[in-house]
Amino acid sequence: MDVWEADPTYVGGISRTVVHKGFRFDIGGHRFFSKSGEVEAFWTEILGDDMLTRNRLSRIFYDGKFYNYPLEASEVVRNLGKRESLLSVGSYLSKKLFPVHQPANLEEWVTNKFGARLYAKFFKSYTEKVWGVPCREIAADWAAQRIKGLSLTRAALAAFWSPPATEAGSDRSKVIKSLIASFRYPRLGPGMMWEATAEHVRALGGQVTLGARVTQLIREDGAAEEATEGMARGEKAAACWQLEVEGPGLGAAGLAAGTRTYDQIICSAPLSWLVRSIRPGLAAEALAAAAALKYRDFITVALMLRTSKDFPDHWIYIHDPGIRAGRIQNFANWSPEMVPDSAITCLGLEYFCFQGDDLWSMADDELIALAARELEALGLAGNEPIVDGAVVRQPKAYPVYDDTYKTHIQSIQAALMSAGEGLQVVGRNGMHKYNNQDHSMMTAMLAVKNILSNQPIYDTWKVNQDAEYIETTGEATP
């Protein structure tokens, strides 16, 4: 088995851990949590006692104050003051009496549920930072999907009348299923999992080559005629694909650049890239669909500082609209081993952006200066000087679910089915799905099972966001 990884330094993709002078940080904090016993068992098998268990603490920071989420009545009143709290209750009640019928966008949907004032403070600015478009341009069904499991009436009631409670095991944690109370985390960050996995692959005789980019996938003649369901039937699928691979990692590993022949390929590179890299080219409709897929990109600015102030959260959400950072990670709270010196804090300020926009194009030292200014403006650090800073840009961090993406995916699926046997797509950008690690892994595990059993038992498109395989009956199997 060969694994070709374009990154010259790290395995793990978006789940890698970057190391800068002994400081370790994630591309966004990466919780390890899955409903799939198989995925959890894999993590345990690979890292065992190196997996820490963490009780989640993450709050909203707005206008200089911390808020638990779901909101707590006493805290909201204490932080907002009685006048603003009464106005918020008034705007909530007025929306209950006069809702927007059939809300079409996220703003209308959330305002219906929480009222305009709470929406403005606790949803609007953060959501717009994440997606880079006004909430009025985000479809209402996105909110319905992402704020899944939230009983809105109960949540609104909880916001105003529930007693303060800790998240773990409380009724509040049941209000929003997606608020995971505890999670696991590798001692040295998420990259530790994928580095250990790469070592297992090598120990089993596989080859993992970094700095090796696949540039083309060439179909053998006749592959298209044999296509069935877009994946291999092993007995027929001899040497269907040639992969062109290049990059500095090949020479370093003593390998020659050029093509390699495979009968089975699992691809986790972005779907938009895959579609335009297959030769002979796919149908024009599929190429147009791939070109229309959109992404949101992401920057982490890690600041190392000696601070007298510190916060206990794993991360905090920054809702103030005047601050461009959307979240701040406190890496030492994920694992103390993320910092080499416990006297120095490492905070990761996260900026959601588009490749080529002003944030993405800013020089590293300007980004570090911006992050330091914002940290000071927020009052989250004292006046202590920044010891060091580092910038990581992550293209294609979030596949965008816009109005048209589903139609584009369908065109691409159809084209891949006729592209030839032996090619399966998996993972987050590999399937253009808003997948966490467990979901991405589950698709890859099923792809491997298909190969081992020589038949397409599983359709990886049927794995849902909870890493459950949805049978055609609608039943989820773990």
Ligand X SMILES: Cc1cc2nc3c(=O)[nH]c(=O)nc-3n(C[C@H](O)[C@H](O)[C@H](O)COP(=O)(O)OP(=O)(O)OC[C@H]3O[C@@H](n4cnc5c(N)ncnc54)[C@H](O)[C@@H]3O)c2cc1C
13 binds ligand X (CB under 6 A): yes
Q: What x/- string results for residues 196 through 235 when contact with ligand X is judged by CB under 6 A? A: -----------------xx---------------------
162 binds ligand X (CB under 6 A): no
Report residue 288: phi and psi, to 5°: -65, -40
Q: Helix (H, G, I), strand (E, B), or coil: what is residue 406?
A: helix
Which positions ≥6 away from 386 have C-beta within 8 Å?
303, 304, 305, 368, 372
Enumerate residues 30-59 that contact ligand X by CB under 6 A. Answer: 30-31
244 binds ligand X (CB under 6 A): no
Cα–Cα dist 60/69, whole Å: 7
Q: Of the two residues 103 and 270, which places its CB atom closer to ligand X in the complex?
A: 270
Enumerate residues 249-268 that contact ligand X by CB under 6 A. Answer: 268
Q: Is the dihedral of CA 250, 256, 257, 260 positive or negative?
A: negative
Q: Of the two residues 7 and 141, which places its CB atom closer to ligand X in the complex?
A: 7
Cα–Cα dist 60/68, whole Å: 6
450 binds ligand X (CB under 6 A): no
299 binds ligand X (CB under 6 A): no
Asked if omega into 280 is within 30° of 0 (cis), the reply is yes
Q: Please, which residues bridge with residue 245 across strands? A: 214, 258
> How far, in whole angstroms, is CA 269 from its chain's centroid?
15
Number of helical (H) and strand (E) elements in the chain, helices listed first: 19, 21
Place of tokens 């080499």: 340
Cα–Cα dist 424/179, whole Å: 32
Stretch that binds ligand X, among 29-37, 84-92, 99-107, 378-386 (CB under 6 A): 29-37
14 binds ligand X (CB under 6 A): yes
435 binds ligand X (CB under 6 A): yes
Which positions ≥6 away from 214 have C-beta within 8 Å?
4, 6, 243, 244, 245, 269, 277
Instruction: Please state the closest distance from residue 402 (CB atom) to ligand X, in A.
Output: 17
189 binds ligand X (CB under 6 A): no
Instruction: Give the number of residues in contact with ligand X, rule: CB under 6 A.
Output: 28
122 binds ligand X (CB under 6 A): no
28 binds ligand X (CB under 6 A): yes
Report residue 22: phi and psi, to 5°: 90, -15
6 binds ligand X (CB under 6 A): yes
420 binds ligand X (CB under 6 A): no
4 binds ligand X (CB under 6 A): yes
129 binds ligand X (CB under 6 A): no
425 binds ligand X (CB under 6 A): no
Q: Is the dihedral of CA 106, 112, 113, 115 positive or negative?
A: positive
Stretch that binds ligand X, among 83-91, 98-106, 148-156, 435-443 (CB under 6 A): 435-443
Q: Of the two residues 61 and 398, which places its CB atom closer to ligand X in the complex?
A: 398
Instruction: Please state the closest distance from residue 107 (CB atom) to ligand X, in A.
Output: 24
Q: Of the two residues 28 and 389, which places its CB atom closer to ligand X in the complex?
A: 28
Nearest alpha-carbon partner for 119 in 171, 74, 155 = 155
Cα–Cα dist 80/62, whole Å: 10
Q: Of the two residues 56 and 172, which places its CB atom closer to ligand X in the complex?
A: 56
Q: Of the two residues 117 and 319, which places its CB atom closer to ligand X in the complex?
A: 319
Q: Which residues bind ligand X (CB under 6 A)?
A: 4-7, 13-15, 27-31, 213-214, 268-269, 298, 397-398, 427-430, 435-438, 440
